[in-house]
Amino acid sequence: MVQKAKILLVDDRPENLLALEAILSALDQTLVRASSGEEALKALLTDDFAVILLDVQMPGMDGFETAAHIKRRERTRDIPIIFLTAINHGPHHTFRGYAAGAVDYISKPFDPWVLRAKVSVFVELYMKNCQLREQASLLRLQLEGGRQSVGDAKESAGLLAELSARLAAVEEQAEALSKQLDETADAAAVATAAHLERKLTGLRRALDALEPGSGAAAG
């Protein structure tokens, strides 16, 4: 069973959190609330998130400061951050948001459909990465099993075939996602997708090397 992705919503105003939940509920993922930067950082200590929607104007630790903390942590530095702000201070303000590590910067009131579409892209990328880690884990088990026993060739071949089929499905989905991203031209999302494709290519090479009769397997 595929687990749902977690989306972190950070805003000091309850009505804004409620509005975000209403917009994103259609994605059928797990929405986690945080009413301050400190609360967001605490949530990030224990859970993995696909994307963070972060309000800029908050009392105490604002969005920029919160983002800086997130990007400094090894565990959380690669989580995409979408800044939300009610005030447009011009190019300098926007640049500060991107400099703090945001992948996008949206002014309120925003178009619900656009926000939902942007978030869904990062959720999909996150799910593909989770699938990739699962394939890598199965591959490691196969390698370990190969070292422990040579007599289970038939079972090993079956597992390799299953791994190859599952990886092919992820490759196909990643390719479709890349084509979709080419149309939206979101540079950060395209870069993330390219990173995923490089990982998939590496995993495919490792899997092919295990196939009977391959040069790597023979050596």
Question: How far apart (Å, rounded) are the C-alpha atoms in residues 196 and 47?
Answer: 21
Question: How far apart (Å, rounded) are the C-alpha atoms in residues 89 and 160?
Answer: 55
Q: Which helix (H) or strand (E) holds 164?
A: helix 153-184
pLDDT at 54: 94
Cβ atoms 123, 31 nearer than 8 A: no
Taking the domains of the chain in order of start, what are their residue ranges?
Answer: 6-110, 122-218
Q: Which tokens in the block code for residue 129?
A: 């990465």
Say whether pLDDT at 41 is over 70: yes
From its phi and psi, is residue 151 left (phi > 0), alpha (psi between -120 and 50) or beta? Answer: alpha
Of 106-120, 121-135, 143-157, 167-181, highest mean pLDDT: 106-120
Put simply, whether the predicted model's pTM sits higher than 0.85 gets the answer: no
Question: How far apart (Å, rounded) are the C-alpha atoms in residues 68 and 51?
Answer: 15
pLDDT at 96: 66
Say whether pLDDT at 213 is over 80: no
- Residue among 97, 96, 168 nearest 132 (CA): 168
Give the rounded distance of the alpha carbon of 218 from its chain centre: 37
Cβ atoms 135, 163 nearer than 8 A: yes
Q: Which residue has the tokens 């870069």?
A: 191
Q: How far apart are the first and last CA of the chain?
A: 37
For 113-136, what is each residue's pLDDT tens digit?
Answer: 989 998 998 898 888 888 777 777
pLDDT at 93: 61
Higher per-residue pLDDT: 73 or 206: 73
The CATH number that domain 6-110 falls under is 3.40.50.2300
Q: Which tokens in the block code for residue 100?
A: 């703090």
Lowest-pLDDT range, 68-72, 165-169, 214-218?
214-218
Distances (CA, A) of 204 to 86, 125, 167, 197, 208: 45, 18, 7, 10, 6
- Residue among 199, 180, 200, 201 nearest 190 (CA): 180
